[in-house]
């Protein structure tokens, strides 16, 4: 099984210049590419200090021309190159510019894990950037007693069978609001059906629990509601 390529954060530095949370990405597997406008020749020293530990995992990309949406087009082009390299790679665009949304919607409907985020802090709090994949860790712990292998049987590599939580969220976002499952059991069954080839043995009821923990859904009795990011 081929290891997935590292997720990538593409930063629209003309639109968002506050990156105090960048230091919290150091211990993840993220690559960061910061796109600078033609006239953004100076960077805050605090930001440069945060960037240094990334080494080659962080790139500064400065525009050489000036024009309407020039930087946005460069980011969109980079998204296309990343998708061409690996359709399973997770791509995040840090920008408040909603002009990216039609492209991202187009990609997510075609199974590409691409998302626009507006606040890096909230994104990190949601746990999407953790390389260990929070759903894998929590689910394997919750089911530890149930999944003990019988004697003389090689243990199953659970982490290879559970899809990244970010991928599950991206898939849910593609489902029209009116047709989304309205009950936890129905959502678990729906996810199990969609990801059956990738994760045939996953307990998706535990995945639903993880979605509730990070605030993607709220479960009240036998009903649930969804919380989408802007």
CA pair distance 62, 181, nearest whole angstrom: 44
Does residue 171 sit in the same domain as residue 213?
A: yes
Question: Looking at the structure, do residues 210 and 162 belong to the same domain, yes or no?
Answer: yes
Global pTM reads: 0.55
Helix (H, G, I), strand (E, B) or coil at 93: strand
Instruction: Assess whether 121 and 162 both reside in one domain.
Output: no
Q: Distance (Å, rounded) from C-alpha 88 to C-alpha 111?
A: 8
Shared domain check, 48 and 81: yes
Which structural domain range is residue 17 located in?
Answer: 8-125
Identify the domain boundary among 125, 153, 187: 125
Residue with tokens 């991928």: 167
Tokens representing 94?
């840090």
Alpha-helical runs (H) found in 10-119: 45-51, 70-85, 101-108
Residue pLDDT tens, the chain, 230 long: 334 678 999 999 988 887 877 888 887 888 999 998 877 777 778 888 888 888 888 998 888 777 778 899 999 999 999 999 998 899 999 999 999 999 999 999 988 999 999 988 878 776 554 444 334 344 443 444 444 444 443 433 333 455 677 778 878 888 888 889 999 999 999 988 888 777 777 888 888 988 888 888 999 989 999 987 54
Q: Could you tell me if 92 and 8 are in contact, meaning their C-beta atoms sit under 8 angstroms apart?
A: yes
Assess whether 118 and 28 both reside in one domain.
yes
């Amino acid at each position: 099984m081929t290891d997935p390529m590292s997720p990538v954060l593409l930063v629209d530095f003309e639109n968002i210049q506050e990156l105090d949370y960048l230091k919290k990405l150091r211990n993840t597997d993220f690559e960061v590419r910061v796109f600078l406008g033609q006239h953004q020749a100076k960077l805050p020293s605090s930001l440069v200090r945060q960037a240094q530990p990334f080494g080659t995992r962080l790139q500064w990309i400065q525009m050489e021309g000036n024009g309407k949406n020039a930087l946005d087009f460069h980011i969109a082009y980079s998204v296309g190159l990343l998708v061409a390299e690996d359709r399973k790679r997770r791509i995040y665009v840090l920008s408040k510019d909603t002009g990216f949304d039609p492209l991202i919607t187009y990609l997510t409907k075609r199974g590409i894990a691409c998302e626009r985020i507006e606040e890096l802090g909230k994104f990190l709090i949601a746990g999407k950037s953790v390389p260990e994949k929070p759903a894998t860790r929590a689910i394997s712990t919750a089911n530890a007693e149930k999944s003990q292998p019988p004697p003389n049987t090689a243990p199953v590599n659970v982490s290879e069978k559970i899809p990244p939580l970010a991928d599950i969220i991206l898939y849910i976002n593609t489902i029209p609001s009116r047709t989304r499952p309205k009950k936890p059991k129905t959502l678990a069954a729906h996810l199990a059906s969609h990801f059956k080839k990738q994760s045939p043995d996953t307990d998706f009821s535990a995945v639903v629990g993880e979605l509730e923990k990070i605030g993607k859904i709220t479960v009240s009795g036998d009903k649930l509601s969804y919380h989408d990011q802007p």
